[in-house]
Structure 1
Amino acid sequence: MTRRVGGYAATLLLIAGATLAGLMIAPRWGNEPVALLYIPPVLVAAITCGLWPALAVAVASTLTYNFYFTEPYGTFIINSPADVVTVAVLFLVAVVTSRLAASLREQSRRADENAARNATIAGLARRLLSCAGEQDIADVAVRELARLFGGHAVLLTGREVPRIVAAGSAGIVLSPSDLAAAALTLESGEASGRGVDRVHLADWQFHPVASDHAVLAAIGLAREDGVPPVPEDKRQLLGNLLDQIALALERARLEGEAREVAALRERDRLRSVLLTSIGEDVKPRLNAIAAAARALRRAEGGDKGLAATVAAETAHLDRYIDGLVDLSPGATQEPLSIGFLLIDFHRRTVRRDGEEVHLTPKEYAVLAELAKHMGRVLTHRHLLRSVWGPAQQDNIDYLRVAVRALRQKLERDPARPELIINEPAVGYRLVAP
């Protein structure tokens, strides 16, 4: 308002100055050059006050020129057709000039507003990028919104029972009508509260913070004087700021989920390593204990009952460990298909061309160990230690007998094996035919 009043005063002074200058130069050069002196007041009015004040100044300049510089002087009557044309041209030039200047002023004002809005959005985005988590984002968001809109700000989450996550100032308590408006915004994704068509009784105005998939939170704004906190000309700015807050919250949520997935993956990897270690380190020792128990039962003078108890408990432990290894994250739970062969580790069954093949426990253990390391060469000692135990790791004949039986039961042509391939002097590997 001060700038507008100053603009009016400046234009009146310019009109007066143009009139005085015209009165001095008219006796020497005539009245025609005087008309140009009235264009600067129109430009000043358009730049400082806008279009309509500039049009008013254009009318005032035209009338002033008519009053002082057209015959009969001192009246608004025009006798000469040439003077009529001069006054009309002056008025048209003043109008066109005022419109152009006012248009330039409006464009400059919009450019300044856009620059200020972009600077505000960029500033908020920069502050949000430095936040480590959702709570930090909420604190920064409400603090900046309270500063920008000159009031109080809160951020709420929870559809059924909204709760305040962050507040721009301490001691903020929402009334039941405010909480109802917040719940409505969180549920519908539309603004509600004071100054909005929905929930008039609320003292706060709530706006949704939404991503493409859901409403993440609600921002509440209020002023001490009870005026609606968001003027109409700042609605677009608020929408841009809420989009930045939504992006920051979504980013924080995705980063949190990524950290949780990485932690779960690392935990599963450790479990898999641990259970594999149990299978590779404990099972051979259990096999050795079971072999020792069988030897005690065959030996003369030994305690047969004690040896039987040891063998039974060892078998129980062996089954428990097999179950743990099968439940490990890295274990294969789905049946393994190898050409015409199907191995179901969970049910401990083997099918050849759809028909179940009966295998002895040792034969199945050798096949399962080869299948778990598909394509890799397993040494004789590895297979013997895993299936028969460390005490039998040098008895290669045991392994050869089991492999020969597997080929007889599984290969199409046992004389030309396609599944279990022998690596001379090293071991065996299982391949797809």
Structure 2
Amino acid sequence: MWIRFAAAEWKRFRKCVRLSTPRIAGRRLCRMPNVIAPDYSPPTLAARLGAHAAALLLVAVATGIGLLIAPRWGTAAVVLLYLPPVLALAVYAGLWPALVAAVISTLAYNYYFTAPLRTFLISSPADAVTVTVLFLVAVVASRLASSVREQAHLAASHAARNATIAGLARRLLSCASEQDIASVAVQELARLFGCRAVLAVGAAEPHVLASVPDGAELAPSDLAAAALTLTTGERSGRGVRRVDLADWQFHAVASDRAVLAAVGLARDDGLPPTNDEQLPLLGNLLDQVALALERARLEREAREAAALRERDALRAALLASIGEDVKPRLNAIAAAARGLRRGGTGDKALVSTVGNETAKLDRYIDNLVDLSPGADRAPLEMRGLTIDLHLRTVRRDGEAVHLTPKEYAVLAELAKHAGRVLSHAHLLRAVWGPAQQAHIDYLRVAIRALRQKLERDPAHPELIVNEPAVGYRLVP
């Protein structure tokens, strides 16, 4: 009767265990991929038989010790001898060897230590309660101890998973181009999941950027699956309802903005390369690939922007150089034409043509210089003074300042070289032409007028500073 009662309790306990056991623990943990739990592969038949043999051996040892101490201290202490083997087996061998040890321990205690001895009958109600409690305690203890083992395995699997993700991120961090990132990504994915891997880009016409093994080609059905993943960001291909006829299974590599690429996985035996248990790890790995591709894109755009700024700066320098080199010569030609016109010498039509063409060239040069991009178009601001060389405006403390053409030309030349000392000859040649380089009085009159209009205290100038016997400088 007591045996039947214990069996009924055992069935109830098995039902509770089945309902409460986490699906990620125990047997399911052992079936997870190597990249998640590399040290816990499914036990072999020999290992399972060895665990059950160990259960028999440990229970036999506990029974032998109990037979030695029972005549002197009674059977009360013997009950406790059967719990350590159950706990040890639960921790080191798993749940089922521990349950086997619990059953054998109960039977051994019943056979050797309850009256009538050497039978499975129980005559005393106290002994029946003892046997039942021993069985239940052993079963519960085995379950609790095995759960500790499973949690340890689970923690180890999480650590291995995090190490796998960190390892891929570390390798991707050393990659500079998208091609390098794609090569490292497919190599790691092929190694971790034990299959072939490709990385495809281009939603309109998908093409393989990197593959393992090298030279892998996609069939039309595979290209359709890749295009679907690149367009929608959904999983497609082998083992998925969408485009199931494809040999490859494609997963999206997506950032917050768009789908950057599609990773394809395929097995040689035709089975789906991943299952539901592997998808979280694969998703984390693909997130690392997406971050690396996004970083490479931003770095490429930064390099392109830097190259564009450098090209614009070079063009601005060339245009400024053209203006500085050609304008004085055009001014000289225009001055010579005006001199011929005033003197009445030479062919008037030819002199007029030379003057007109010189004026056109001068306007062309001005237009070219005005095309200078970047900082040349940005207004220059210094000490409350704003000079816009592009719009040809000057403001003092926000109010427009009217300047004559010569005054503006002098100020503009100083502003183009702010902080540098420009000689008298340079300013005269740039504003009045080479023929007037000796007329320093022209320049002094223009500088005096500029100081009256721009300086807060013209007697003590702070913007346009005189360098004795050299020239003038605009203080930035």
Please point out which of 323, 327, 351 is paired with 2:371.
Answer: 327
- The match for 2:185 is 141
Q: Percent identity?
A: 68
2:200 is aligned with 1:165: no
- The match for 1:151 is 195
Distance in 2 (alpha carbons) for counterparts of 1:212 and 1:178: 25
Please point out which of 285, 288, 294 is paired with 2:338.
Answer: 294
- The match for 2:145 is 101
Gaps (5+ residues) in structure 2? Answer: 1-42
Distance in 2 (alpha carbons) for counterparts of 1:335 and 1:144: 53
Deviates more, 1:326-335 or 1:399-408: 399-408
Give the TM-score, by structure 2 length.
0.77
Return the offset for 1:311: 2.7
In structure 2, the CA distance between the partners of 1:342 and 1:13, relative to structure 1 (3 Å rule), is: closer
In structure 2, the CA distance between the partners of 1:67 and 1:411, relative to structure 1 (3 Å rule), is: closer
Please point out which of 274, 287, 290 is paired with 1:246.
Answer: 290
- The match for 2:355 is 311
- The match for 1:231 is 275
Distance in 2 (alpha carbons) for counterparts of 1:350 and 1:125: 55
Return the offset for 1:321: 1.4
Q: Output one character per residue of 1:66-111: Cα deviation in whole Å (capped at 9) or x when no partner.
A: 1232112244332223323432442243234313321221121012
Equivalent position amino acid for 1:389 in 2: G
Q: Output one character per residue of 1:21-60: Cα deviation in whole Å (capped at 9) or x when no partner.
A: 4345434543333323322331243124433553343233
Count the aligned residue pairs: 430
Q: Output one character per residue of 1:334-356: Cα deviation in whole Å (capped at 9) or x when no partner.
A: 77899999977556678999999
In structure 2, the CA distance between the partners of 1:55 and 1:364, relative to structure 1 (3 Å rule), is: same
Q: Output one character per residue of 1:219-267: Cα deviation in whole Å (capped at 9) or x when no partner.
A: 1111112222123332222122112211221222222122212212222
Please point out which of 179, 182, 192 is paired with 2:226.
Answer: 182
2:175 is aligned with 1:116: no
Maintained 8 Å contact 1:411/1:418: no
Equivalent position amino acid for 1:5 in 2: L
2:430 is aligned with 1:394: no
Distance in 1 (alpha carbons) for counterparts of 2:465 and 2:293: 59
2:97 is aligned with 1:38: no
CA RMSD of aligned residues (A): 3.7
Equivalent position amino acid for 2:262 in 1: A
2:256 is aligned with 1:212: yes
Maintained 8 Å contact 1:4/1:48: no
Q: Output one character per residue of 1:251-299: Cα deviation in whole Å (capped at 9) or x when no partner.
A: 2222212221221222222222222222223222321222223223334
Q: Secondary structure at the match of 1:32?
A: coil
2:114 is aligned with 1:70: yes
In structure 2, the CA distance between the partners of 1:5 and 1:236, relative to structure 1 (3 Å rule), is: farther
Distance in 1 (alpha carbons) for counterparts of 2:178 and 2:85: 56
Please point out which of 76, 81, 88 is paired with 2:125.
Answer: 81
Equivalent position amino acid for 2:160 in 1: A
Maintained 8 Å contact 2:463/2:475: yes
Return the offset for 1:134: 1.0
2:424 is aligned with 1:365: no
Equivalent position amino acid for 1:36 in 2: L
In structure 2, the CA distance between the partners of 1:209 and 1:394, relative to structure 1 (3 Å rule), is: same
Equivalent position amino acid for 2:307 in 1: A
Distance in 1 (alpha carbons) for counterparts of 2:73 and 2:393: 118
- The match for 2:6 is none
Distance in 2 (alpha carbons) for counterparts of 1:422 and 1:69: 115
Deviates more, 1:139-148 or 1:392-401: 392-401
In structure 2, the CA distance between the partners of 1:16 and 1:355, relative to structure 1 (3 Å rule), is: closer
Q: Secondary structure at the match of 2:274?
A: coil
For 1:264-275, list aligned pairs within 5 A.
Answer: 264-275=308-319
Q: Secondary structure at the match of 1:233?
A: coil
Distance in 2 (alpha carbons) for counterparts of 1:340 and 1:135: 52
Distance in 1 (alpha carbons) for counterparts of 2:212 and 2:171: 16
Q: Secondary structure at the match of 1:232?
A: coil
Give the TM-score, by structure 1 length.
0.84
Equivalent position amino acid for 1:264 in 2: L
Q: Secondary structure at the match of 1:170?
A: coil
Equivalent position amino acid for 1:130 in 2: S
- The match for 2:95 is 51
Please point out which of 240, 246, 253 is paired with 1:196.
Answer: 240
In structure 2, the CA distance between the partners of 1:343 and 1:244, relative to structure 1 (3 Å rule), is: closer
- The match for 2:301 is 257
Return the offset for 1:318: 1.5
Q: Output one character per residue of 1:381-433: Cα deviation in whole Å (capped at 9) or x when no partner.
A: 3321111223312212333555678899x7899x999999684867667799x
Equivalent position amino acid for 1:309 in 2: T
Distance in 2 (alpha carbons) for counterparts of 1:390 and 1:421: 23
In structure 2, the CA distance between the partners of 1:144 and 1:420, relative to structure 1 (3 Å rule), is: closer
